[in-house]
Chains A and B, each alone.
Chain A
């Protein structure tokens, strides 16, 4: 079983819909990252969380440390949000390594 699980694996939405992508993990962490990868593009960091909630524009990320769960929400989705969204966790301790989920492929149709 993967230490980081994302759901759903694939998601198709209509423009304007509210979208939620979930991430569950089974290890102790010091931080959780949400990353975005457009087709053929590099990976960019959206959020880094260790507790609570962060918001940037139409994107909101939340984390519940006790439940070992995080969600990424996109409000008023747009076709340019179509991408792979990846959850990654940094384990507690001195290591700087990340453990990655397998990603959620989001397609937002006009």
Chain B
């Protein structure tokens, strides 16, 4: 079975802190994605990566950056967390068509 893991299920941070969310997949997938999920808005793509060190902006990249130094790991970075970044963050990996999701990290920024 494909396994996508995220570093934390719940995280509480303060405004202005730098936040790292980690995602690891064990199936050698080339494509990895970071989404945020908010009530009434569904899943929105923040960034995705189609290979090591390759990244592309999604629909809402502002306030976020990403890092993919190794194929299995895709990190989402909030350089200076703000309260409007309180959300559920979901990572996914994909060989091509189907996407496999991690359990999500619920981030609260106070």
| Same assembly | yes
A: residues with CB less than 8 A from B are: 30-31, 33, 35, 41-45, 48, 86, 88, 90, 96-98, 100-103
CB of A96 within 8 A of CB of B43, answer: no
Q: Using an 8 Å CB-CB cutoff, how does the interface string of B48-62 with A read, 1 for contact, 0 for none?
A: 101000000010000
Q: A42-B90, A86-B43 are in contact. List 19 more A-B contacts (CB 8 A).
A: A30-B97, A35-B101, A42-B101, A42-B102, A42-B104, A43-B92, A43-B101, A48-B98, A86-B42, A90-B97, A96-B31, A96-B94, A96-B96, A97-B33, A97-B48, A98-B45, A101-B42, A102-B40, A102-B41
B: residues with CB less than 8 A from A are: 31, 33, 40-45, 48, 50, 58, 90, 92, 94, 96-104
Separation of A43 and B101 alpha carbons in the complex (Å) = 6
CB of B90 within 8 A of CB of A43, answer: yes
Q: How many A-B residue pairs have CB under 8 A?
A: 44
CB of A44 within 8 A of CB of B42, answer: no
CB of A97 within 8 A of CB of B45, answer: yes
CB of A44 within 8 A of CB of B101, answer: yes
Separation of A102 and B44 alpha carbons in the complex (Å) = 10
Which chain B residue shows the least CB distance to A90?
Answer: B97
Separation of A85 and B44 alpha carbons in the complex (Å) = 16
Q: Which of B43, B94, B100, B104 has the most CB of A within 10 A?
A: B43
Separation of A37 and B104 alpha carbons in the complex (Å) = 11
Separation of A96 and B100 alpha carbons in the complex (Å) = 13
Expressed in whole angstroms, the minimum distance between the Cβ of B93 and any Cβ of chain A is 11
